[in-house]
Amino acid sequence: MATTKKTKANKSIIDDNHIITLYMNTVLENQEVPKNVYLFCKNNAIEESDFYSFFGSFEAVKQQIWVKFFENAIATIEKDTAFETYTDKNKLLTLNFTLFEILTLNRSYVLYSLEENKEGLKNLKVLKHFRTEFKNFIVSIIQSNPEEKSDRLSRVTEPVFSEGAWIQFLFILKFWMDDTSKNFEKTDVLIEKSVNTVVDLLDTKPLESLFDLGKFLWKEKK
C-alpha cells in the first residue's frame, strides 16, 4: 500500500490526459481493452480512486479521447489569428485538414477504436460527444459570418447544414481508414473536393461539384 506522502505525489501529476495516455498505450500494446478498472490501475501503478475522479468507465474514456482529438484540433486552429476572417468554405477546409492531421498522428489507436466492435462506423457510440462538439462548431462557423449566413440560411437551416457537415466527415473518415497513399494524399484530395461540394450545394454550382467529386471516387474504386 502506498504511503500518504507518495499517494499525494502521485495525485499531483494524475489528470484526465495522463489516464487517457495510459489507456491508449495499454490498448495498443495489448490489442484489447483492459479487463477491468482494477487491473488497469494496478498495471499502471495508479489508484482506482484516481481513475474514478475523472471517468466512470472505460466507455467514458473512449468517448473522451475523441473529444480530446477535437479540442486539440480547435486549439491548433485558434492559433491562427486570421481564421475568423476565412470564408465558410475555408473554415471547413481548415477544420477537416487539421482534424485528419491529428487523427493521423494517432492512426493506430483510431483504427483500433473504430474497428474494435467489428462493425466499424456502423456503431458510432464512441463518437457521441465528438459529434456534438463537431456540430456545435459548424454552427458557430455559420453564425460567425452573418454576411454569408443570410443568403444560405434562406435555403437551409443550421441543424441541416451541421448534420450535412457531420455526414461528410464520416464519409472522409471511412475513406481515410482505407487510404494507403503516401502521406494520405488521396484523403487530402477528397477533403477539398467534398468540402467544395457541400458548400457549393448551398451556392450556385452543385452539379459541377458533384460531378467532380464523383469522378474522383470512381477513379479510386478502380
For 193-213, how does the pLDDT look when each residue is reduced to its tens digit (9 = 90+)?
888 877 666 554 554 554 555
pLDDT, tens digit (0-9, with 9 covering 90-100), for 48-84: 999 999 999 999 999 999 999 999 999 999 999 999 8
Question: What residues contact 127, with CB distance under 8 A and at least 6 apart?
Answer: 63, 66
Q: Where are the domains of the chain?
A: 15-52, 58-221
**Higher-confidence residue: 17 or 163?**
17
DSSP the chain: ---HHHHHHHHTT--HHHHHHHHHHHHHHHTS--S-HHHHHHHTT--HHHHHTT-SSHHHHHHHHHHHHHHHHHHHHHT-TTGGGS-HHHHHHHHHHHHHHHHHHTHHHHHHHHHTTS-GGG--GGGHHHHHHHHHHHHHHHHH-HHHHHHHHTTS-HHHHHHHHHHHHHHHHHHHHH--SGGGHHHHHHHHHHHHHHHHTTSS-HHHHHHHHHHHHHHHH-
State pTM to two decimals: 0.81
What average pLDDT is seen over the chain? 82
pLDDT digits (tens, 9 = 90+) for 131-190: 999 999 988 887 776 555 545 444 556 677 788 889 889 999 999 999 999 999 999 999
Cell of 172: 472522409
Tell me how many degrees the CA angle 110-111-113 measures, rounded to the nearest 5: 60
Which pLDDT belongs to residue 137? Answer: 93
Which residues, 6+ apart, have CB-to-CB distance to 126 below 8 Å? 62, 63, 66, 113, 114
Query: What pLDDT sits at residue 197?
Result: 74
Whether the per-residue pLDDT at 216 is higher than 60: the answer is no
pLDDT at residue 103, rounded to an integer: 97
| pLDDT of 4 strictly over 70 | no
- pLDDT value at position 146? 56
User: Between residues 124 and 112, which one has the greater pLDDT?
Assistant: 112
Rounded alpha-carbon distances, angstroms, from residue 48 to 61, 65, 94, 217 = 14, 19, 40, 48
